[in-house]
Amino acid sequence: MVKKIGIIDYGCGNLASLHNSLEKINCKFGYISSAEDFDLFDAYILPGVGAYKYGMRSLIDNEMDSSLLEAIKKGKELLGICLGMQLLFESSTEGGYQKGLAFVPGSVDRIEAPQGCRVPHMGWNDLSVNEVNNVQLFNGIDKESSYYFIHSYCAIAEKSVSQVTTTYCQKKILSAFEYENISGVQFHPEKSHDAGLKLLDNYCKR
């Protein structure tokens, strides 16, 4: 069976780039713009360019938070990208405390930068090669590939979550995870050339 992916359109995101990428890998997909649309799809992508508070409010206002939770409970798969990944955790401090979707144990906080270190973390970074195998999304991708990061806040997940990190400012930053039927990436696969396309392909076709 070919999976049909639902891109959650909650008014926060760079949908055009994701759209182009999924077309390139011949993925079957459509958009979810209301709470009723969730049943039409087999798996989901929660994208996101945006601030945490704004994103979470948009999900709640559109009543998508509860529909998504129901779908997850049924065992459907979900991939969060950037802000979409962060929203899966319990909370964030961006713009003041805000509760998240709380599908994954952990929380989001500002990147702690020592003197001389820039925030946002902006640009291409590689992943810890020893950890890449922790997350199946990276199957078949060159371990030394770089991915495009653009964020000021990062998630800290509990140990029960399978994780891959990247190093920035001598600190390990969560870059990808898998937890039951949920996965997430902090970087933008839709902006990360061939490695990013392959990752999306792995998600859409597994």
Partner 1 sequence: MLKTRIIPVLLLKGNSIVKTVKFKEPRIVGDAVATVKVFATRKADEMIIVDIEATKRGSINIDLIERISKSCNMPLSIGGGIQSVEDADALFRVGADKVIINSKFYSDKNIIKEISRKYGEQAVVFSLDVRRSEVGTKAFSNSASVNSDIMAIDAAKEAIANGAGEIYLNSIDQDGCMQGYDLELIEEISSQVTVPVVVAGGCGDKEHCVEVIKAGADAVAAASIFFWIGESIITIKEHLKSNGIEVRLK
- Residue 135: what are its φ and ψ, rounded to 5°? -125, 120
**Is 99 a binder of partner 1 (CB under 8 A)?**
no
Which amino acid type is present at position 115?
A: Q
Q: Which residue, 90 or 126, is less far from partner 1 as judged by CB?
A: 126
- Rounded CA Rg of the chain: 16
Q: Which tokens is 65 given?
A: 């938070």
Q: Kindly identify the residues of this chain, within the stretch 152-191, that bind partner 1 according to CB under 8 A.
A: 152, 167-168, 188, 190-191
Residue range at the interface with partner 1 (CB under 8 A); choices 33-41, 51-59, 63-71, 100-108 = 51-59
Which one of residues 142, 158, 205, 206 is an interface residue with partner 1 (CB under 8 A)? 142
Q: What residues are labeled active site?
A: 82, 188, 190
Q: Least separation, in Å, of the C-beta of 80 and partner 1?
A: 15
**83 three-state secondary structure:** helix
Whether the bond between 120 and the residue before it is cis, its omega within 30 degrees of 0, is yes
Element of type H or E holding 15: helix 15-24
**Is 130 a binder of partner 1 (CB under 8 A)?**
no
Residue range at the interface with partner 1 (CB under 8 A); choices 61-69, 99-107, 113-121, 156-164 = 113-121
**Is 17 a binder of partner 1 (CB under 8 A)?**
yes
Q: In what order do the strands lie in the sheet with 153-157?
A: 98-99, 91-92, 106-110, 153-157
Q: Which tokens is 53 given?
A: 């508070």
Residue range at the interface with partner 1 (CB under 8 A); choices 28-36, 64-72, 154-162, 192-200 = 192-200
Q: Least separation, in Å, of the C-beta of 169 and partner 1?
A: 9
**Is 29 a binder of partner 1 (CB under 8 A)?**
no
Which residues, including other chains, have CB under 8 Å from residue 165's CB and lie 6 or more apart? Answer: 127, 128, 131, 172, 173, 174, 175
Q: Which residues bind partner 1 (CB under 8 A)?
A: 13-17, 20-21, 24, 49-52, 54, 83, 94-95, 113, 118-126, 142, 144-146, 148-152, 167-168, 188, 190-193, 196-197
